[in-house]
Amino acid sequence: MNKGVRRCTRCILPESYPDINFDSNGVCRVCREFDHRYLNVDWNDLESKLARILDRYRGRGKYDCLVPFSGGKDSTYSLWLLKNKYGMNPLAFNVDNGFAEDGAQQFIRECAGKLGVDLYTYSPSKEFLKRVYSHAMHRTGEFCTACVVLIPTAIFRAADIHGIRLIAGGFCEKTEAPPSRYADMDRVRFWNIMKSAFSRKELSWDFFFPSWKRMFRIKYFNLPDYIRWDLREIHVVLKRELGFEKKLSDIRFDCLATPHSNFLFRRIAGFSKLEYLYANMVRAGFLCRGEALDILEEREAGGLPEGFFDFMSEIGCKRSILCETEGRSTFEYSARLKLIRKIAIRIREMLP
Ligand SMILES: [Zn+2]
C-alpha cells in the first residue's frame, strides 16, 4: 500500500481512482454520489414491490427461482431469506472454476443441506478454462475477464435448462460495485479478445447466451436493491443459522487466483480491488476507516504475490509474461455500445 497517496477522508479511495475529485472537506465524488442515491430511499415501498415480484413467480414449477450461490455472505443470506422469510423454493446454483479456496465447495454443499435447498454445481473443464485464461492473459495482461463473462452466462444457462423464469441475485451494489470503467466487460469485447484463438462454437456454451429471445424470458434482480442490506445484521443471522465463521471484514470465499488477479488489476488500473471493496464497506458504515486502512496495509504489500509465476505456468504462461504484456489491457478491444447494454439490462429488470 502506498502511504504517500491522497485518500478520501470518509472512505479510503485513492486519488488514482477513475474520475475522482475531492470537495473542500476531502470527501470524494463516490461518497457524495452514494449519499445522493441512498439517503432518501423508501425501503418499505421497495420491500412491498419485492413481495409482489416473488408472489408472481411462486409455485410456477419445481423451483420458484434460481439463486447464484458463491458461499459468500450476500448470496448465502439471499438464499436464507428467500427460503425462510419469503417461502420460496430456490435452486442454489454454483460455478466451480476449479480454483476455489480450500473448503469453499464443502461449505457450499453443507449450507445447501442445512437450508434444505437443491444445489446445482457447474464445473467447466479446467483444461479448457486454462486455455481461455492463458489467451486472455497474453492479449490483455489479465485473466479474470473469462470468469466475468462465464459466470453470468452459466447462471442464465442454468435457469434456462431448469425452466426457471426468475433469478434472484445477491449482488450488493453498495459494497461490491467496481468503478464503472472496469465493469464494462461484455460478450462483444470478450469475443474480440478471443477470436484469434477460439472458434465461436468452442466458446458458445460457456460464454454466450443461447438467444436474446430466451434470455428476455428470464427476469433478473438483486435482493439488496429491495431490502435494507445491513451487513452487521446479516453476519449475526448467518452465524446463528448456518454457523458462518468468517469475520465481517472477510469479504468472501476467494478464488485461489485472487491475489494474482489483484496484482494484475493494480498494474493496469493504478489502484487495487481491495481498495475499492473496503472503501465501499467504509462508506456504507460497515467498517471503520482505520480498520480498512490496516487491512489494506496487511494484505497489499505490493510487488509480486507469492506463487505468481507458478500460477502463470499452471495456466500456460511463461515467466516473460509480464514483459510481454506491459501496457496491455482489455480496453484495446472494442465493446458493445454502452446504450445497447443498458437497454438490455433494463428490459430484464422491467420484466414483470
Ligand atoms: Zn470517499
Span from the CA of 144 to the centroid of ligand 1 (angstroms):
26
**How many CB atoms are located within 10 Å of the residue 100 CB?**
21
Span from the CA of 220 to the centroid of ligand 1 (angstroms):
30
Span from the CA of 34 to the centroid of ligand 1 (angstroms):
9
> Quick one: pLDDT at residue 126?
95
Span from the CA of 31 to the centroid of ligand 1 (angstroms):
4
314 lies in some domain: no
List, in order, residues 6 or more apart from 219 with CB less than 8 Å away: 53, 57, 165, 166, 167, 348, 349, 351, 352
Span from the CA of 26 to the centroid of ligand 1 (angstroms):
8
Q: What is the CATH number of the domain that holds 124?
A: 3.40.50.620
196 lies in some domain: yes
190 lies in some domain: yes
Span from the CA of 28 to the centroid of ligand 1 (angstroms):
4
Domain count, the chain: 1
Span from the CA of 217 to the centroid of ligand 1 (angstroms):
39
214-264 pLDDT tens trace: 888 899 999 999 999 998 899 999 999 988 877 776 656 678 998 899 999
106 lies in some domain: yes
Give the structural domain span for 87. 43-229+336-347
Residue 197 near residue 141, CB atoms below 8 Å: no
Widest Cα–Cα separation across the chain: 57
> Quick one: pLDDT at residue 253?
64
198 lies in some domain: yes
Pairing of strands 65-68, 90-95: parallel
169: helix, strand or coil: strand
64 lies in some domain: yes
158-192 pLDDT tens trace: 999 999 999 999 999 888 888 887 877 788 999 99
Residue type, 276: Y
> Quick one: pLDDT at residue 245?
79
151 lies in some domain: yes
Residue type, 299: R
List, in order, residues 6 or more apart from 248 with CB less than 8 Å away: 231, 232, 235, 286, 287
Span from the CA of 29 to the centroid of ligand 1 (angstroms):
7
> Quick one: pLDDT at residue 252?
61
Alpha-carbon torsion angle 9, 13, 14, 19, nearest 10: -110
Which strand (E) or helix (H) includes residue 215?
helix 212-215
CA distance 143 to 130: 9
> b/e string for 252-266 if b means 16 or more Cβ within 10 A?
bbbbebbbbbbbbbb
> Quick one: pLDDT at residue 10?
97
Q: For the sheet with 219-222, list strands across it.
A: 118-122, 90-95, 65-68, 166-169, 219-222
What are the residue ranges in the chain where pLDDT is below 70?
Answer: 1-3, 249-253
Pairing of strands 90-95, 118-122: parallel
Span from the CA of 139 to the centroid of ligand 1 (angstroms):
33
Residue 67 near residue 246, CB atoms below 8 Å: no
Residue 6: closest CA among 21, 19, 225: 21
Q: What is the residue whose three cell numbers read 454502452?
A: 338
CA distance 95 to 253: 13
Span from the CA of 25 to the centroid of ligand 1 (angstroms):
11
Residue 222: closest CA among 111, 65, 336, 30: 65
List, in order, residues 6 or more apart from 217 with CB less than 8 Å away: 165
25 lies in some domain: no
225: helix, strand or coil: helix
